[in-house]
Amino acid sequence: MRLTYTSDVWYKNAVVYCLDVETFKDGNGDGVGDFRGLTQEIDYLAGLGVTCLWLMPFFPTPNKDDGYDITDFYSIDPRLGTLGDFVEFMRTATDRGLRVIADLVVNHTSDQHPWFKESRSGRDSPRRDWYVWSDTPEPDDPKQVVFPDKENSIWEYDEGSGQYYLHSFYRHQPDLNVGNPEVRDEIARILGFWMELGLSGFRVDAVPFLIENVTPRLASPHEFLADLRAFMTRRKGGSILLGEVNLPYKDLMQYFGDGLGDQVTMCFDFIGMQRAWLSLARNEAGPLASALRERPEPPKDCQWAMFLRNHDELTLDKLTKEERQEIFAAFGPSEDMQIYGRGLRRRLPTMFGGDLRRIKMAYSLLFSLPGTPVIFYGEEIGMGENLDEEGRMAVRIPMQWSRDGGFSQAEPVREVPDGSFAPDRVNVADQKRDTSSLLRWFQLLIERYRECPELAWGEYTVLDTGHPAVLAHRSDADGATVVVAHNLCDTAQDVELKLAGLERYRLTDLLVDGTVDVSADGVVRLPLDPHGCRWLRAAPPEIPPEDASVKSL
């Protein structure tokens, strides 16, 4: 593995930062975030060390699903700026070495999209077939209803044209029909348009819904994904699709495609994420360790995307009812913290009651897990949620820049929280000055993560720790090794790890000062603080640790 190669396959050890332009920074003082405001904060993001920005939808929208209901795929929502502002932003981001990807929401459009208006105008409309219509839809399976608080069916009757249309999500989001070749061409055109303006790829919304619910059924639904990827590679090598594919591992793997991986470049590890929360709730490494052991290896040029929280509810849909209840009891006991019967509408720090040691340990775990870490804006300063905001909006609150909020001069688009997570207690400006802050911790983790390509690229092994609360793993790549250990409980622990092949090596701490030696029979004793974490680089005693890094190979 050479750096020239790892930089070609840049996404495999990227640090992805998801943000919503609307809530990040208001540049024109109208209370709504915008591209001008975001552009002013590029140096903050570059300084944090993230390498790729994921922009949530910024397209014109009636905003009934926070922008995931689009009326024009080729333009910018006027509240957020203009195409000119977008290009200025792209130029500035690129200048600071940041890549940018954006949400690709083409499973559906808004019902206000001109395509849908035309489609519903009559059964003989030229665009009728751009959406999925039926005289007699199959009876609903309640499991198919994604937002049970608002919908009880995935079909809606259209009075005007006398047929039902499919909507996998809200009724105001009719599903596009990728069974129609014109729709497939149009989707490629959308990708091509934004890639031309500098995007390095897309976070693809709701991938299984996109390829499955179509008429006629695609003979080979995955071929469409492979075609899109081939199109992107022709236009711009190294561009990626980051897929929202919340499926069990065995069903998910086909989304990566064959060979080197010719479909979705990276898939979020929803299973690992949910098991990580079960581990955190129990203070036991077991559930996460077993997910990591079960998790298949993605094709060579693909990668898992790791996350703990995102812009949606913390979904626990792939756990058992009992497991879900355990997490609810630990992290969201009151009903207004829960949503859809399957998740929590909270951010991580409030779930940990603001316990900084535990919060730091959880993020250390995230950055050390094999895969590409994806964080949601505000995680780096430990922002909480505002449960007064409706549904999932609770976590999509304005970025907290300074003690007075600093997001906007005007009344902000959404309310910040009160109390111990209010901007006067949690903000960027204060944390920049405080060397023990969460923000500084993130900077350190990101720096170390980027210096340890083994974590993202290497072959990982979950180690036996002999202690239920401690998760340890090692990542090996091209003769270099990083060992990490996390103590999930709040009492100090000593663990002994067996490190085959590292007999008599010296392990050097990467997060603090310190070394520890591996014995002649390959055993190392690692003391861990309560909620402690250690990242260690292995080197034969005669070689300085920095020279033992995979970088030098």
Name the site residues for ligand NOJ (rule: CB under 6 A). 65, 68, 105, 169, 205-206, 312
Q: What is the strand order of the sheet 155-158 is part of?
A: 133-134, 163-166, 155-158
How many CA atoms are closer than 13 Å to the CA of 391, on its beta-carbon side? 13
Q: Give φ, ψ of 228 to 5 degrees.
A: -60, -45
Q: How far apart are CA 14 and CA 372, in angstroms?
A: 6
Tell me, rounded to whole angstroms, the distance of Cα 81 from its chain centroid. 25
Q: How far apart are CA 478 and CA 2, in angstroms?
A: 10
At 291, is the secondary structure helix, strand, or coil?
helix
Of the pair 245, 507, the CB lying nearest ligand NOJ is at 245
- Active site (annotated) includes residue 244: yes
Of the pair 65, 284, the CB lying nearest ligand NOJ is at 65
CB of 500 to ligand NOJ, least distance (A): 42
Q: How far apart are CA 272 and CA 510, in angstroms?
A: 25
Residue 238 contacts residue 270 (beta carbons within 8 Å): no
Catalytic position from the list 65, 205, 379, 454: 205
Of the pair 395, 445, the CB lying nearest ligand NOJ is at 395
Closest residue to ligand NOJ: CB criterion:
68
CB of 209 to ligand NOJ, least distance (A): 8
Q: How far apart are CA 445 and CA 547, in angstroms?
A: 20
Amino acid at 92: T
CB of 314 to ligand NOJ, least distance (A): 12
CB of 25 to ligand NOJ, least distance (A): 21
Q: What's the token pair of residue 158?
A: 């259209």
Of the pair 265, 315, the CB lying nearest ligand NOJ is at 315
At 367, is the secondary structure helix, strand, or coil?
helix
Of the pair 9, 204, the CB lying nearest ligand NOJ is at 204
CB of 203 to ligand NOJ, least distance (A): 9
- The radius of gyration of the chain from alpha carbons, rounded to an integer in Å, stands at 24
Q: What's the token pair of residue 379?
A: 């995680």
Q: What's the token pair of residue 115?
A: 């395509």
Of the pair 168, 279, the CB lying nearest ligand NOJ is at 168
CB of 394 to ligand NOJ, least distance (A): 13
CB of 147 to ligand NOJ, least distance (A): 8
Q: What's the token pair of residue 360?
A: 């730091």
Of the pair 210, 381, the CB lying nearest ligand NOJ is at 210
- Active site (annotated) includes residue 284: no
CB of 338 to ligand NOJ, least distance (A): 17
Does 544 sit behind a cis peptide bond, omega within 30 degrees of 0 on the bond before it?
Answer: no
Q: How far apart are CA 83 and CA 75, in angstroms?
A: 7
Q: How far apart are CA 422 and CA 164, in angstroms?
A: 46
At 16, is the secondary structure helix, strand, or coil?
strand
Q: What's the token pair of residue 11?
A: 């996404």
Of the pair 206, 365, the CB lying nearest ligand NOJ is at 206
Q: How far apart are CA 426 and CA 416, in angstroms?
A: 11
Q: What is the 3-state secondary structure (H, E, C) of 485-498?
A: EEECCCCCEEEEEE
Amino acid at 74: Y
Catalytic position from the list 34, 111, 244, 476: 244
Tell me, rounded to whole angstroms, the distance of Cα 437 from its chain centroid. 23
Known catalytic residues are: 205, 244
